[in-house]
């Protein structure tokens, strides 16, 4: 028999290896780019939030993302910018009265509901954290909650924090709303409600819409009257807090109690 040519032998030797070699994998395609327009912008904001945390977002970006829920097919950046121009901050936008929010172009019922939801969620979280320990051992969280609840109120609101014998939170209740600089408070009603709840201690709280937490003469007199009425029934008045804009005043720390 005639011998195979060297070239043919080489091809025969290589053929099995080539046959058994795996087929080359197709090149991997790059990650798809975010779609253009509002949807791509939303995706980038979500990635920024998850990667860098909420502190990396500006106030208007938080408002944008919040409005995503209410306006799923709308570019919410212009709405957020208009809210910032009108109210100046995320907190003030979330706390703004409904009639003022409706005066901002593009802000309707769905957007207002989203803003209210953000405020309610923040307050619920803060008050539940405050309940976890005795209030006097959890002072910073209590102040954070009261500031969130009252600092942006346009009129005075008087609240009472009712505590049990271990200084745990029994209830936090609004007692009265007043004008921009006055809220009527009746010591008898304060003590009556404390007895109904079985409270053994109280913290009085009200806000000053002016932002200045300095107590008025009426504030000092009313506090003394509540303290005296409560003491006759063995109820302790721990403090009276006045919440301003970014500031607060404690009667006890100022030696007013």
Asked if 161 contacts 199 with a C-beta cutoff of 8 angstroms, the reply is no
Rounded Cα distance between 249 and 257, Å, is 12
What class is the 39-123 domain?
mainly alpha
The model carries a pTM of 0.65
Token pair 């509540």 is found at: 226
Asked if 122 contacts 144 with a C-beta cutoff of 8 angstroms, the reply is no
pLDDT in single tens digits along all 257 residues of the chain: 445 555 434 434 444 444 455 555 555 545 555 555 567 778 888 888 889 888 888 999 999 989 988 888 888 999 999 999 999 989 889 988 899 999 999 999 999 999 999 988 888 887 777 677 777 787 888 888 888 888 888 888 999 999 999 898 898 898 876 545 556 788 999 999 999 999 999 999 999 999 999 999 999 999 999 999 999 999 999 999 999 988 999 999 999 98
Strand 169-177 to 201-207 pairing: unpaired
Q: Do domains 39-123 and 134-250 have the same CATH topology?
A: no
pLDDT the model gives residue 3: 52
Asked if 212 contacts 252 with a C-beta cutoff of 8 angstroms, the reply is no
Q: Which CATH number fits domain 134-250: 1.10.579.10, 3.30.499.10, 3.30.70.100, 3.40.140.10?
A: 3.40.140.10
Taking the chain, what is the end-to-end CA distance rounded to the nearest angstrom? Answer: 120
pLDDT the model gives residue 32: 54
Give Dmax (Cα) for the chain. 126
User: What is the domain partition of the chain in residue ranges?
Assistant: 39-123, 134-250
Of 165, 249, 232, residue with least CA distance to 202: 165
**Residues constituting the chain:** 257
pLDDT the model gives residue 78: 93
Q: What are phi and psi of 183, to 5 degrees?
A: -135, 125
């Amino acid at each position: 028999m005639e011998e195979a040519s060297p070239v043919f032998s080489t091809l025969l030797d290589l053929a099995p290896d080539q046959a058994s070699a795996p087929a080359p994998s197709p090149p991997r395609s790059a990650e798809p780019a975010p779609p253009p327009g509002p949807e791509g912008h939303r995706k980038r904001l979500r990635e920024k939030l998850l990667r860098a945390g909420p502190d990396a977002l500006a106030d208007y970006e938080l408002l944008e993302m919040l409005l995503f829920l209410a306006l799923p097919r709308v570019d919410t950046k212009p709405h957020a910018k208009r809210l910032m121009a009108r109210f100046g901050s995320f907190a003030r936008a979330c706390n703004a009265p409904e009639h003022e929010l409706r005066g901002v172009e593009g802000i309707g019922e769905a957007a207002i509901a989203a803003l209210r939801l953000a405020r309610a969620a923040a307050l619920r979280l803060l008050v539940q954290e405050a309940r976890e320990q005795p209030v006097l051992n959890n002072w910073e969280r209590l102040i954070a909650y009261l500031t969130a609840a009252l600092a942006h109120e346009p009129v005075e609101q008087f609240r009472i924090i009712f505590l049990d014998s271990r200084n745990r939170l029994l209830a936090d209740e609004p007692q009265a709303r007043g004008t921009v600089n006055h809220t009527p408070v009746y010591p008898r009603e304060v003590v009556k409600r404390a007895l109904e709840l079985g409270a053994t201690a109280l913290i009085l709280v009200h806000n000053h819409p002016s932002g200045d937490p300095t107590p008025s003469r009426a504030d000092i007199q009313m506090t003394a009257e509540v303290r005296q009425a409560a003491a006759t029934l063995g109820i302790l008045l721990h403090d009276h807090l006045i919440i301003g804009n970014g500031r607060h005043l404690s009667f006890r720390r100022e030696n007013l109690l």
